[in-house]
Structure 1
Amino acid sequence: MKTMQRIAFPVILVYLWVMMVLLGSIVMETFMVYPNIFRDPPRSLELSMSFMSVRGPDDFFPPLGFLSWVAGIGALVLGWRVKAARWWILFSLLMIVCEGLVSVFFFWPRNEIMFVEGSAVHSDELLRQTAREFQTLHWSRLAFNVAASASIFVGFLKFYRQRLLSRFVLHEA
């Protein structure tokens, strides 16, 4: 069991790091990239597709999102014994899983409409409507990420505190 406790700290730390990278990425996308993409659909959508012809968000976010799920599961399993951290880690994992599911079932189909099929398949009005829906509901993704990141931060601090206190108690005995 001692080995599990030693492994738990770096796994929870990695999950915290992944979540902070993910949060920073989605904040940048929200406030820097999206205002340009959605400035004047469908024209701005076409310009965005030209700009992101080599690499785009779909190359970055799905693998990072999956990594957040795997790291979160590892953090939860290995950190479960620390009651003070358990529920924070669980809540973080639930929030990022919810964000991922919302992305897969709501945002990915809209990405397909706006950035793959585009005006070759859809009317300008449908593209504008899809862009509005995307922008409006994107705030839910940001909220899920903020909640997940804040929760794992608190969970990590609770786990670390318990780790320090248990070492102190062992040295006192």
Structure 2
Amino acid sequence: MSRTKVTTGTLIALVWAAMMSFGGVAAETVMLYPNIFGDAPASLDRARAFLVDGGPSDYFPPLGASVVLFALATVALTWRVPRIRWWAVLATGVFVSCEFLFSALFFWPRNEIMFVDPPGTHTPEFLREVAQEFVAGHTVRLAGGAVAAALAFTALLLWVRENARSVHQAGPVS
């Protein structure tokens, strides 16, 4: 298989995974967040009861890891093509910063407080404050996911155009 085909496939996989991640975060925002954070601490207790068999913590880590792996592969495969490379580097940087680092530093400690610590550990006022912080910080993750997906999609479009141009310039294959 040619390097061009591998790069194209990797870019498509990156775009797909980044858009799935962004779409999942967007859907979570409108479907789950009003129920989870709407009336803390009572809504947090309901969320604990509801999210027993599965939840966002089962979906996003493997998906995020696939985005990072496809992004790193894309950067490596497009490194010799500066016009594409920087879109891939930016997509990778934005995703890692907003989805992983920000999550690890900002969301994980708050998840621990709201969903892992035994009920009654924290005051209702503190839980409301943590829930509000979580929702406010979520805009960073949502925006970062959108930007990362758009940057990856731009890299794919530029890659496809560049390859179509080079095929066109090479002329018909005999």
Give me the TM-score of the superposition, normalised by structure 1: 0.95
Cα shift at 1:118: 4.8
- State the distance in 1 between where 2:50 and 2:112 align: 17
Match of 1:40? 39
Kindly provide the amino acid, as one letter, of the partner of residue 153 in structure 1. F
Contact 1:114 1:127 in 2 (8 A): yes
Match of 1:144? 144
User: Hey, which of these two has a bigger chunk of helix by percent?
Assistant: 1
Please say which of residues 70-79 and 115-124 is displaced more in the overlay: 115-124
Whether 2:159 is the aligned partner of 1:164: answer no
- State the distance in 2 between where 1:98 and 1:104 align: 10
CA offsets 1:50-82 (integer angstroms, 9 cap, x no match): 011000111111111111110100011112223
Match of 1:104? 104
Match of 2:131? 131
Whether 2:44 is the aligned partner of 1:16: answer no
Kindly provide the amino acid, as one letter, of the partner of residue 62 in structure 1. P
Length, aligned pairs only: 172
Match of 1:114? 114
Give me the TM-score of the superposition, normalised by structure 2: 0.94
Match of 2:69? 70
Deviating 4+ runs (over 6 angstroms):
none
Match of 1:31? 30
- State the distance in 1 between where 2:118 and 2:139 align: 23
Contact 1:41 1:128 in 2 (8 A): yes
Cα shift at 1:126: 1.1
- State the distance in 2 between where 1:169 and 1:80 align: 23
- State the distance in 2 between where 1:69 and 1:87 align: 16
Kindly, what percent of the aligned residue pairs are identical? 36
CA offsets 1:22-77 (integer angstroms, 9 cap, x no match): 11100001111101111100000010110110001111111111111101000111
